[in-house]
Chain A
């Protein structure tokens, strides 16, 4: 069966510090990978989307970036965090293809507080 893991689960970072969140998927090949963010009291915002190694689509201009160095590894980074970057970050995956096969499954999430 497929599993998805992301870490760290919780982190507190000062403004201006770098960020690295990592996510790995097991049990599937060539998945679509996603990074979402959920700010306090707000909906899920799609940040990045990837269909393959090195292929990243950015949904929202910001000081975050994403990389996919391996087929089942997705990394969210920032060189300098802002207070507004605080939130609940979720990595997710889906299979290639259409229909219910495009169901997205989420990792456990990472709580980021920028202070």
Chain B
């Protein structure tokens, strides 16, 4: 089974930095995925962490601590277009991918 917990909503202003946390419990853990979903659209892949530590990809970074069952997504230099839902998803060796309920981020001018 799986248990995924992330905040429901967050707000920030343009140019700021925001950190979205995710804690999880899952069977057969096989890396941690983050997806972005704009309203009315399908989710798109953002990042994948399989080892502990920070992975940086432009304005977005993702961190993983496997021993703590914890990950975060860090968004820098926020832009209005970053307003979206961010989904945390622990991968499974069973091949299935289960998603958290998502964190709705609103970026204000």
B contacts with A, residue count (CB < 8 A): 21
B99, A103: Cβ atoms under 8 Å?
no
Q: Does B66 contact A (CB under 8 A)?
A: no
Return the contact of A104 from the options B30, B97, B100, B101 (Cβ within 8 A).
B97
CB contacts under 8 Å to B, within A1-60, are 32, 34, 36, 42-44, 46, 49, 51, 59
Looking at B15-23, B41-49, B56-64, B74-82, the stretch in contact with chain A turns out to be B41-49
B48, A103: Cβ atoms under 8 Å?
yes
Q: Does B68 contact A (CB under 8 A)?
A: no
A34 CA / B91 CA spacing, docked (Å): 14
A100, B95: Cβ atoms under 8 Å?
no
A106, B42: Cβ atoms under 8 Å?
yes
A43, B101: Cβ atoms under 8 Å?
yes
Q: Does A61 contact B (CB under 8 A)?
A: no
Return the contact of A100 from the options B31, B41, B93 (Cβ within 8 A).
B31
A contacts with B, residue count (CB < 8 A): 24
Q: Does A67 contact B (CB under 8 A)?
A: no
Q: Does B12 contact A (CB under 8 A)?
A: no
Q: Does A102 contact B (CB under 8 A)?
A: yes
Residues from chain B with a CB closer than 8 A to the CB of A109 are 41-42
B102, A43: Cβ atoms under 8 Å?
yes
**Residues of B that sit less than 8 Å from A by CB:** 30-31, 33, 41-45, 48, 50, 87, 91, 93, 95-102
**Residues of A that sit less than 8 Å from B by CB:** 32, 34, 36, 42-44, 46, 49, 51, 59, 90, 94, 96, 98-100, 102-109
